[in-house]
Amino acid sequence: MQEATFLILTALADSSQHGYGIIAEVGQISEGRVRLRAGTLYTALDRLRTDELIVVDREEIVENRLRRYYRLTPKGSDLLAAEAARLQANAAAALSRLDLAGGTA
């Protein structure tokens, strides 16, 4: 899974978000390291909807502009959980080996 996709799913993990909200959340989660642009975001959203990982939650009109809120589907939650566990296991293995290397140096 690409990092942008992982971060978008993470942004939707605890609540539904609209497009600009997802961009802001991703910036916050990555501590400013990843700055999503609209084109990248909507390419990802289109693919995630096709794969049934997210769905439209609701729509609002704010200041004459359409806001469409997205949320994770159960399938999306499962995939995100599996990917997070995989990344966590990889990170733990890397840290463990680094500790081992540091100990023997």
Choices 9-17, 35-43, 71-79, 89-97 (CB under 8 A): range interacting with other proteins: 35-43
Q: Which two tokens stand for residue 48?
A: 């995630």
Of residues 61 through 100, those in contact with other proteins by CB under 8 A are: 64-68
Distance CA 15, CA 11 (A): 8
Size of the site for other proteins (CB under 8 A): 18
Measured from the CB of residue 56, what is the shortest distance to other proteins in angstroms? 10
Per-residue three-class SS string for 22-79: HHHHHHHHCCCCCCCCHHHHHHHHHHHHHCCCEEEEEEEEECCEEEEEEEECHHHHHH
Between 33 and 37, whose beta carbon lies closer to other proteins? 37
For other proteins, the binding residues (CB under 8 A) are 18-20, 23, 37-43, 46, 50, 64-68
